[in-house]
Amino acid sequence: MPTKPIRRAAAVAGGVAALIAGTATGPALAAGQPAHGSASPIRHVLLISVDGLHQQDLAWYVRTHPHSALARLESHGIEYSRARTPFPSDSFDLILMQDVIEHLENIPAVMAEVHRVARHGALVRIRTPHFSSWYAYNDPTHRHALGVFAFDGFDAAKPNALYTTARFERVRRRILFPRLWRMTGAAALANRFPARWEQLFAFVIRAENLEFELRAVKEPPASP
């Protein structure tokens, strides 16, 4: 089962991060399933992780999911480099950023680089602590604490040109809560009315994390 080597790089778009990339022969999501009804298997995956901080997370996942696509990629070794993002444009079908964006200095620059290496229609999955979360303020390496609408400026439907020219379509956005608020129904209400919850109740009914799923929107190539 041919698989390209993983690559790991640092200094990504204004922040220190690791890039772990490779080509899998089947759907290469962590769960092993294409995203949201996609008929085509995702083959080219980029996992971005903060350098040195989340290697244990990767090691745990590979150990507990030995037949996953990430395990297959990891088994081919890791190549270290100090270069900026080394990948050509339009390289990846799926980009995973779990507990990463809050560590990076320049989020618009990071999203511009993610957009560059993403193919048209590629999925970008982001998890980050909500600003009301206990996790947001107890890691001294965090540079940002983000809210529900933090990525609206990159939305192709209503872009903010002051951020970047990178454009994405929002596929899904979810606020994750501790079990108490899920059991009482407060989590469902907050997800239904996120602006009202964030303005009035966020520091009472406190969240844990935010999950975003975006789809890269790129201009079609010009006709010759």
67 has a pLDDT exceeding 80: no
Buried b (16+ CB within 10 A) or exposed e, 21-36: bbbbeebbbbeeebbe
Domain locations in the chain as residue ranges:
6-177+209-217
Q: Is 135 exposed, middle or buried (0-12, 13-18, 19+ CB in 10 A)?
A: middle
CATH class of segment(s) 6-177+209-217: alpha beta
Give the Cα separation of 160 and 111 in Å (integer): 13
Q: Is 18 exposed, middle or buried (0-12, 13-18, 19+ CB in 10 A)?
A: buried
The CA-based dihedral angle spanning residues 213, 219, 220, 222, taken in that order and rounded to the nearest 10 degrees: -160
Taking the complete model, does pTM exceed 0.75, yes or no?
Answer: no
- Calculate mean pLDDT across residues 29-33: 36
181 has a pLDDT exceeding 90: yes
Position 87 scores a pLDDT of 74
